[in-house]
């Protein structure tokens, strides 16, 4: 057997999976948590050393659980939370805590950048997407503005997964998928955008600090001897490029050809799909990222999915089983009860200051069953809003692959299928990003100059990515029609409450 490891460094923890390329099985898994620095200012940071400490723990767990010798691992790849900013000095030391994707302390800097680019239209024209507050670009300007003494030490800008690659190999490199989430990459040409870079810093420091870009199938090096010793693996172990967590999750759900949408029913909701060509939308709500498979990965993120359903569940004092039972006890439309589920503001549509609200309450519909269904329906309508943005760009899907905690609910899966009018199915592996990284490691290690790169990756995905046929849900025609009307009612309510939203 030939063994590979996939590493996923998320916000809450680092996870590792070890797979056998011959049997196409996951042999062992490991996980270790990270703390989070959180302040009312919007500060959301972590120390990079927390990630490497967790990686070591998780790696040894995975090796022990697999019952293998670490030196048998041929290659590894890293998936990392997108958009974080890891600043290094010339000696390779991290000079500041890492601002994460969820950090909003840089909102003013982001607005300054968007204004300098000429607003939404200017940003889409220049970069192919509009930088959001969570993107790396505003974090860089924040460091320059608030910590000029650290700015003078800046030698290299890395993303979280880039930093773990550097820790593993000593190589400072970036790949197109994760780099497209910085706000500094032209997604059409897949090059660092000099115009945007100079808006932040025209001295040349930032331009020099951006690492070289490589394609997704590249082997960037081998593991440093001292790191190999700490992990219990060989110093000949190869390291593939890796990528951002969404890019790796696309591989780990087999979403590497057109026609599939991966939809996460997690705390927030994420939609992404594969495209062979750049997707430069006429809406800033679609992030036209590059994929980590040498294509493109248009993505939409909504803020209120299981965060909203959990808030209602706790308000009703229901455990998860009782909440799911409540969903079964009422009909589509929740007996007229409607909700706008903006407990955390909203990104799609762009309503950062919005609040959650309940509408059309009367004495007959105010009960636990209707409240439970109303929040699930409204969270799903938010995802349908994103699906419709894709459809307006000519992006269509014949299948939705669900991930996240909400995907475990059979009732919610059926609601998704009916509201989207697309078949829905879950993948068997819950750690899609870590598996995607392992698949990319196999791709990198086994690819020869005679292989068709795309065909080989598709073959490996077919071997490893399995669909759970027991979760397959086909849209019910009667309820599709019913939900289409209910969704239009939702849009009417949305526009009444927030006239600025374009429908």
The catalytic site residues sit at 245
Q: How far apart are CA 211 and CA 192, in angstroms?
A: 9
146 in a labelled binding site: no
Query: For the stretch 370-395, what's the b/e string if a residue is b when 16 or more beta carbons lie within 10 angstroms of its beta carbon?
Result: bbbbbbbbbbbbbbbbbbebbeebeb
Integer angstrom CA distances of residue 364 from 4, 256, 359, 487, 490? 57, 48, 13, 22, 20
Element at 419 (helix H, strand E): helix 410-420
Bridge partners, 38 (sequence order): 44
**Can you say whether the dihedral through the CA atoms of 343, 345, 346, 349 is positive or negative?**
positive
Please give the helix or strand (H or E) that residue 8 lies within, else none. Answer: strand 3-9
CA-wise closest residue to 190 among 322, 301, 296, 323: 296
Q: Which of helix, strand or coil describes residue 129?
A: coil
Q: Does the annotation flag 83 for ligand binding? A: yes
The sheet carrying 98-99 orders its strands as: 37-38, 44-46, 98-99
Helix axes 306-315 and 320-327, enclosed angle (nearest 10): 100
Distance, CA of 5 to CA of 26 (rounded, Å):
10
Can you say whether the dihedral through the CA atoms of 317, 320, 325, 326 is positive or negative? positive
Q: From residue 152, how far is each of 86, 137, 202, 205, 352 by CA, in Å?
A: 15, 17, 14, 9, 34
CA atoms in the 13 A half-sphere facing the CB of 259: 3
CA-nearest of 84, 79, 82 to 240 is 79
Q: Say which residue the tokens 């609200």 belong to.
A: 357
Q: Where are the beta strands (DSSP E) in 13-102?
A: 13-20, 25-33, 37-38, 44-46, 73-80, 86-88, 98-99
- Is 412 within 8 Å of 419 (Cβ atoms)? no
Q: What is the spatial distance between Cα 67 and Cα 195, in angstroms, rounded to a whole number?
A: 52
Annotated binding site for substrate: 82-83
Q: Residues annotated in the binding site, as ranges?
A: 82-83
């Amino acid at each position: 057997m030939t063994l590979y490891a996939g590493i996923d460094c998320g916000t809450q923890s680092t996870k590792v999976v070890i797979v056998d390329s011959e049997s196409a099985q996951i042999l062992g898994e490991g996980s270790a948590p990270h703390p989070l620095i959180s302040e009312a200012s919007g500060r959301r940071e972590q120390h990079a050393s927390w990630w490497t400490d967790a990686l070591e723990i998780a790696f040894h767990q995975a090796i022990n659980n697999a019952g293998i010798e670490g030196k048998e691992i041929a290659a590894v790849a890293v998936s990392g939370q997108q958009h974080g900013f890891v600043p290094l000095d010339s000696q390779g030391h991290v000079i500041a805590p890492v601002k994460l994707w969820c950090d909003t302390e840089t909102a003013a800097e982001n607005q300054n950048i968007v204004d300098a680019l000429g607003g939404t239209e200017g940003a889409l024209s220049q970069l192919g997407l509009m930088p959001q507050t969570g993107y790396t670009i505003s974090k860089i300007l924040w460091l320059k503005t608030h910590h000029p003494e650290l700015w003078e030490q800046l030698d290299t800008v890395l993303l979280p997964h880039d930093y773990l690659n550097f820790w593993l190999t000593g190589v400072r490199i970036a790949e197109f998928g994760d780099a497209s989430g910085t706000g500094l990459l032209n997604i059409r040409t897949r090059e660092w955008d000099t115009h945007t870079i100079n808006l932040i810093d025209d001295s040349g420091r930032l331009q020099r600090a951006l690492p070289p870009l490589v394609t997704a199938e590249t082997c960037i090096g081998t593991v440093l001897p001292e790191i190999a010793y700490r992990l219990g693996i060989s110093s000949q172990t190869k390291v593939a490029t890796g990528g951002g967590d969404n890019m790796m999750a696309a591989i780990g759900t087999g979403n590497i050809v057109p026609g599939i949408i991966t939809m996460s029913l997690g705390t927030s909701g994420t939609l992404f799909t594969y495209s062979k060509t750049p997707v430069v939308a006429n809406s800033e709500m679609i992030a036209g990222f590059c994929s980590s498979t040498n294509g493109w990965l248009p993505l939409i993120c909504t803020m209120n999915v299981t965060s909203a359903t959990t808030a209602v569940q706790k308000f009703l004092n229901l455990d998860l089983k009782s909440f799911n039972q409540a969903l079964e006890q009422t009909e589509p439309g929740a007996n007229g009860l409607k909700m706008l589920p903006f407990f955390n503001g909203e990104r799609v549509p762009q309503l950062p200051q919005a609040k959650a609200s309940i509408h059309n309450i009367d004495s007959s519909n105010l009960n636990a069953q209707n409240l439970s269904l109303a929040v699930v329906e409204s969270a799903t309508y938010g995802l349908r809003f994103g699906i419709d943005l894709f459809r307006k760009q000519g992006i269509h899907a014949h299948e939705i692959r669900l991930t996240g905690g909400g995907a475990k609910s059979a009732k919610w899966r059926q609601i998704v299928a009916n509201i989207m009018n697309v078949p829905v199915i879950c993948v068997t592996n819950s750690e899609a990003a870590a598996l995607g990284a392992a698949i990319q490691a196999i791709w990198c290690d086994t690819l020869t100059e005679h292989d068709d790169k795309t065909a080989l990756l598709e073959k490996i995905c077919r071997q490893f990515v399995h669909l759970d046929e027991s979760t397959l849900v086909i849209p019910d025609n009667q309820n599709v029609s019913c939900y289409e009307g209910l969704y239009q009612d939702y849009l009417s309510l949305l526009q009444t409450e927030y006239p600025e939203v374009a429908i």
